[in-house]
């Protein structure tokens, strides 16, 4: 019995709230994270990182503030104080009138430090180093902020409180050089998964515990191949119920989704 319970808990599919509950609320705002974490009970809050002119890590997908705020310009050319003036919610109301809420107006761009303060060390974070080539020192700053919040302790890392993901292998190598224990996930570009040779996968397994492929590339066979190397497999970004069920049928370990509520319902079905 004990063995069964353990096996079950190890195979629990992880609900990774992609940019928070970004199917319902403006991505990478507290409105979005509150919904995915406090209301939907997703396992992970997914955070994309960019770095400001004054070296602060903020949650934003793009290298510029143009799409998700009322401002313009590259994050690297703006100070945190300047970015804090921006409205990171109204664009969502304009784009999605059927989902618009007055409370989204005036949402601010959160810093990583503010996110970790708000959700604490019991929440789990799936953090992506975005454009690390644009931001020298990003990895060092990330580890410093995580440590300040007690998230670099071995037991927290072991339990998967923090996973670091990147499309940049170089950035993941750097994270490993800075810390031996932190758990890493290699994201793969579209069409990349089937180009990886056995030798490349073996080498990658020395560095990362997981692979994040584009879900459109996954098949039953290549998922099985990745699993045979011992990788955890977390495809992105799976937003329809049909695709979620298909990914589960391949044996993935969870998915990045804008609809954490939908995936959670599916994984909890008896």
Look at strands 57-59 and 44-51 and give their pairing: antiparallel
Q: Which is nearer to ligand G3P, 24 or 256 (CB)?
A: 256
Of 99, 47, 49, 90, give the one whose Cα is nearest residue 67: 90
Interface characters, 48-77, with ligand G3P (x: CB under 6 A): x------------x----------------
Q: How many residues does the chain have?
A: 270
Q: Is 24 in the site for ligand G3P (CB under 6 A)?
A: no
End-to-end Cα distance, the chain: 18
Residue 146's SS3 state is helix
Q: Which is nearer to ligand G3P, 69 or 237 (CB)?
A: 237
Q: Is 187 in the site for ligand G3P (CB under 6 A)?
A: yes
Among 171, 179, 223, 237, binds ligand G3P (CB under 6 A): 237
CB 166 within 8 A of CB 129: yes
Of 81, 54, 58, give the one whose Cα is nearest residue 68: 58
Q: Is 18 in the site for ligand G3P (CB under 6 A)?
A: yes
Question: Which residues make Cβ contacts (< 8 Å) with residue 21, sequence separation at least 6?
Answer: 32, 33, 35, 36, 39, 40, 42, 258, 259, 260, 261
Residues of span 116-145 touching ligand G3P by CB under 6 A: 128
**Closest CB 51 distance from ligand G3P, rounded Å:** 16
Question: Which residues make Cβ contacts (< 8 Å) with residue 27, sequence separation at least 6?
Answer: 19, 20, 61, 68, 92
**Closest CB 143 distance from ligand G3P, rounded Å:** 19
Total of residues contacting ligand G3P (CB under 6 A):
10
Among 89, 132, 210, 212, binds ligand G3P (CB under 6 A): 212
- Residue 241: phi and psi, rounded to 5, are -60, -40
- Residues annotated as catalytic are 18, 61
Residues of span 154-183 touching ligand G3P by CB under 6 A: 165
**Closest CB 70 distance from ligand G3P, rounded Å:** 22
**Closest CB 165 distance from Ca ion, rounded Å:** 7
Return residues touching ligand G3P (CB under 6 A): 18, 48, 61, 128, 165, 187, 212, 236-237, 256
């Amino acid at each position: 019995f004990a063995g069964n319970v353990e096996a079950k808990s190890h195979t629990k599919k992880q609900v990774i709230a992609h940019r928070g509950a970004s199917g319902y609320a403006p991505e990478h705002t507290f409105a979005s994270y509150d919904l995915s974490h406090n209301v939907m009970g997703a396992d992970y809050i997914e955070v994309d990182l960019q770095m400001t002119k004054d070296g602060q890590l903020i949650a934003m997908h793009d290298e510029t503030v143009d799409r998700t705020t009322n401002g313009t310009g590259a994050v690297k050319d703006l100070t945190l104080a300047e970015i804090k003036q921006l409205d990171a919610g109204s664009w969502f109301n304009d784009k999605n009138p059927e989902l618009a809420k007055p409370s989204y107006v005036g949402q601010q761009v959160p810093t990583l430090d503010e996110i970790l303060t708000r959700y604490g060390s019991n929440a789990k974070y799936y953090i992506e180093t975005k454009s690390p080539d644009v931001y020298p020192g990003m990895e060092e700053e990330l580890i410093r902020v995580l440590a300040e919040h007690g998230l670099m302790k071995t037991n927290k890392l072991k339990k998967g409180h923090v996973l670091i993901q990147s499309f940049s292998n170089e950035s993941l190598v750097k994270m490993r050089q800075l810390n031996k224990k932190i758990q890493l996930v290699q994201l793969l570009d579209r069409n990349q998964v089937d180009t990886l040779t056995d030798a490349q996968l073996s080498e990658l397994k020395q560095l990362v515990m997981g692979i994040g492929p584009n879900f459109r590339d996954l098949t039953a066979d290549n998922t099985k191949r990745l699993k045979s190397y011992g990788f955890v497999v977390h495809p992105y970004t799976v937003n329809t119920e049909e695709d979620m069920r298909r990914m589960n049928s391949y044996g993935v370990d969870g998915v990045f989704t804008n609809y954490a509520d939908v995936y959670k319902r599916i994984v909890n079905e008896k």
